[in-house]
Chains A and B, each alone.
Chain A
Amino acid sequence: MMKTTTATTKTATTATALALALPLALGGLAPRAAAAAAGPDGGEAMLLDRREIVVPAHAAELVRVDNLLGRVVVRGTARPGEIHIVAEKHALSAEALGRLRVHYTAFESGEIVVDTRVEMGGRERSLPLAGSGIDLLLEVPPDLAIEAKTFGGDVQASGLRAGAKLETTGGRIGVQDVRGGVVTHQLRGGQRVAAVDGDVDLDGVEGEMDLRDVGGGHVDAKVVDGSIRAEDIRSGLVRLMTTTGQIVLIGVIRPGAHYDLRSYAGDVRVIPVGEPAAFELRARSAAPLESDMPLRGSRREGEWLRAEYVGRRTPAHTRTALLELSSSLARIIIQPRMEAELR
């Protein structure tokens, strides 16, 4: 039931429309090229081999990309029913180049898997390499869910309409213009997430996190060693947590929303833009709360300070927001800004 074919080196005929655009995106590379380029230090030449193929994806629902050998870029720009794969491999020797492989497998369940391997001891293995590798660019129909994993290479997703799960050990994560849930896992490298309409769950050990223009039900971002900057977050539940870094939240405080911002060793800074909704504040920090907003009813409950902000133009029936801010070793700062001041 499974048909296995060794792909020809010629781009499939159905690729024509997309193949025209990709060479531009990749710096004018030919559809198939094998060439030598100088190494990074101008010394040893790096051998390059680039292939592209268009595969059918009429019943596909999920594309999973496992590439421990390099970068992964996924763009939701393909026509319905087609996936365009560009694979570029590089190595310092022809022997090493010949041992790098890309596999494409489509299953009846609707899952499509693209994975890379290196031939080793007569078997193909999914392993990261330092001097050789494969970079993958996939153009997929926007309505396919995406799962992508790298080891040291960056992983980027854009233009998707069914969410993305991205995982990397040491690469950077980039998400732009995605509808649907976004889930990430990372050891180090930093994450930038922008223009997402869906739940966002970011997890990292080391590196900065930058979130902008995010809607959906919730944002949950956790990093151990790094700062989190979140701007224009419209979700009802915003949970940002770092152990060593700072947290900065910039944007409108929305009625009924719950903001839970916690840093162990860094400052927690909230910069409300415009007139905030009325909110209840729970704050705990090593230093006294620094607030430029008029707070009422300040009182201590254990190590927590509680207070309220009553919006000047907030209608009486509007739900109160909740700000829970905690910094065990540093400061909590609330500094409202008008939108014009931020520009």
Chain B
Amino acid sequence: MPAATTTCPSTERLSALLDGDLPASEAAVVRAHAAGCARCAQAAAELGALVSAARGLDPLEPPPTLWRAVEGALDARAPAEPRGWLRWRPFLLGTFAGAIAVAIAVFALPRTAARIAERPAAATGEAGMAAAAASDPLLAEAEAEFARAAAAYEQSIEKLRTLLARAEQGWSADERTRIAERLARLDDAIERSRDFARRSPGDSAGNEQLFAAYQQKIAFLAAAVHRGGEWSERTP
């Protein structure tokens, strides 16, 4: 990263800028500085990524797919199991009935440990998956299905964008700016998720993360369209 200068804003001020917490006059100064400073532009981009992941999206509920995406990422690292069409793994139901701590020790920890231990091998497996993507017709089918879903999300976003363009005609410049900034952050989150999904073909977790990002944007756009001029007061 390029060296900071004495005029560079602090990380806290950059963060406040991204959060929309700076007064308009101060925000303009910081924004103008960042436009001409490679270090601050990079820092702002990195902060933006964090903000969109952790703070910028906080007014919305976590997407329903979030936890499943995490689970999917873990599953992708799980060891391959012996072949079998229908595997039946009946637990010793009732043996420790009600003993939650025991259940966690027996079930959750060993599974997690096994998954973590498998990670180095999984990295190699992902490279293999990328190579297989071009030749495996089933993988090509799966990627096509994900692409169709992504296209459907983008189509819905485009419709909402059109409605928003109409709705925001009557809004103040500040409101339009705030919405544009939020949308830029959401677009950034989508782009990063898309890159992640592209890097790991055959991994549903990457696509679930992308779909979760699309859902965030759709929820935000729909809320903005509905709330209209009330947006600035009612959207945190």
Q: Which of A18-73 contact B (CB under 8 A)?
A: 49, 51, 53, 55-60, 66, 68
A3 touches B90 (CB 8 A): yes
Give CA–CA (A167, B129) in the complex, Å.
27
Cα(A128)–Cα(B202), bound, Å: 10
The number of residues on chain B lying at the interface, defined by a beta carbon within 8 Å of a beta carbon of chain A, is 62
| In the assembled complex, A102 has its CB within 8 A of some CB on chain B | yes
Q: Which of A4-12, A229-237, A246-254, A285-293 contacts B (4 or more CB under 8 A)?
A: A4-12
Closest Cβ of chain B to A259, distance in Å, is 17
State the majority secondary structure of interface residues on B. helix
Q: Are A224 and B64 in contact (CB under 8 A)?
A: no
| Interface residues in A, total, Cβ within 8 A | 68
- Let me know if B160 is at the binding interface, CB within 8 A: yes
**Given the interface contacts A87-B86, A127-B202, does A244 sit within 8 Å of B159 by beta carbon?**
yes
Complex contact B225–A104 (CB within 8 A):
no
The answer to whether A68 and B204 touch across the interface, beta carbons within 8 angstroms, is yes
Contact A120 B93 (CB under 8 A): no
CA–CA, A101 and B211, complex, Å: 25
Can you name the residue of chain A whose Cβ is closest to the Cβ of B203?
Answer: A125
In the complex, 27 of the A-B residue pairs with CB atoms within 8 angstroms, ordered by the A residue number, are A2-B106, A6-B88, A7-B86, A56-B93, A59-B97, A96-B137, A96-B138, A100-B85, A101-B84, A106-B89, A106-B91, A119-B83, A122-B125, A126-B72, A126-B75, A127-B138, A129-B141, A130-B141, A130-B145, A131-B141, A152-B145, A187-B153, A224-B156, A225-B156, A241-B226, A244-B159, A328-B228
Which 4 A-B residue pairs are closest in the complex by CB-CB distance?
A: A127-B142, A6-B84, A128-B145, A108-B103
Residues of B within 8 A of A (CB): 64-65, 68, 72, 75-76, 80-97, 99-100, 102-103, 106-107, 125, 128-129, 132, 136-139, 141-142, 144-146, 148-149, 152-153, 156, 159-160, 163, 167, 202-204, 211, 215, 218, 222, 225-226, 228
Interface of A with B (CB < 8 Å)?
1-7, 49, 51, 53, 55-60, 66, 68, 87, 96, 99-109, 118-132, 149, 151-152, 167, 169-170, 185, 187-188, 203, 205-206, 222, 224-225, 241, 243-244, 262, 264-265, 328
